[in-house]
């Protein structure tokens, strides 16, 4: 299969396969799965991403939003709470405040 005929997801899956610990590629794959409606694959990739890269702050908000959409509020609360703590450690107050706002909406 040529690169021109591969889907974005296939390309991202190849990146992840070549470098499973690369947070940016894993995040891209999770986002692509989320945007194409494959919530199960998105959840799997967000889980793997955050297990390997707990300080990858953007993933927490997007993962929390996905879990809310999937009617999994308790899991969303846990992810967002963890994300707020991680953002605080990194000094990312903007991300923390976005997660706090989403958390308040589902509490």
Q: How is residue 6 annotated by DSSP?
A: S
Cα(67)–Cα(65) distance, integer angstroms: 5
- Identify the pLDDT of residue 3: 55
Write out the chain's pLDDT in tens, 107 residues: 555 799 999 999 999 999 999 999 999 999 999 999 999 999 999 999 999 999 999 999 999 999 999 999 999 999 999 999 999 999 999 999 999 999 999 96
pLDDT at 2: 54
On whether residue 64 sits in a domain, the answer given is yes
- Confidence (pLDDT) at 4: 72
Helix then strand then coil, in percent of the chain rounded to 5, is 80, 0, 20
- Asked if residue 39 is part of any domain, the answer here is yes
- Asked if residue 2 belongs to a domain, the reply is no
* pLDDT attached to residue 104: 96
Contact between 62 and 34 (Cβ < 8 Å): yes
User: Which residue range(s) make up the domain with 91?
Assistant: 7-106
pLDDT at 86: 97
Q: How far is CA 87 from CA 8, 65, 100, in A?
A: 29, 16, 11
Q: Are 49 and 25 in contact (CB under 8 A)?
A: no
Does residue 1 belong to any structural domain of this protein? no
CATH number, domain with residue 44: 1.25.40.10
Q: How many domains does the chain have?
A: 1
Structural contact between residues 64 and 58, judged by C-beta atoms closer than 8 angstroms: no
């Amino acid at each position: 299969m040529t690169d021109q005929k591969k889907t974005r997801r296939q390309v991202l899956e190849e990146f992840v396969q070549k470098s499973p610990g690369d947070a940016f590629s894993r995040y891209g794959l999770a986002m692509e799965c989320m945007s194409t409606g494959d919530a199960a694959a998105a959840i799997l990739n967000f889980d793997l991403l955050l297990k390997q890269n707990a300080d990858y702050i953007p993933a927490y908000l997007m993962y929390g939003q996905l879990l809310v959409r999937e009617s999994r509020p308790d899991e969303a609360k846990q992810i967002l709470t963890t994300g707020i703590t991680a953002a605080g450690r990194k000094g990312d107050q903007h991300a923390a405040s976005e997660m706090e706002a989403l958390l308040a909406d589902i509490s």
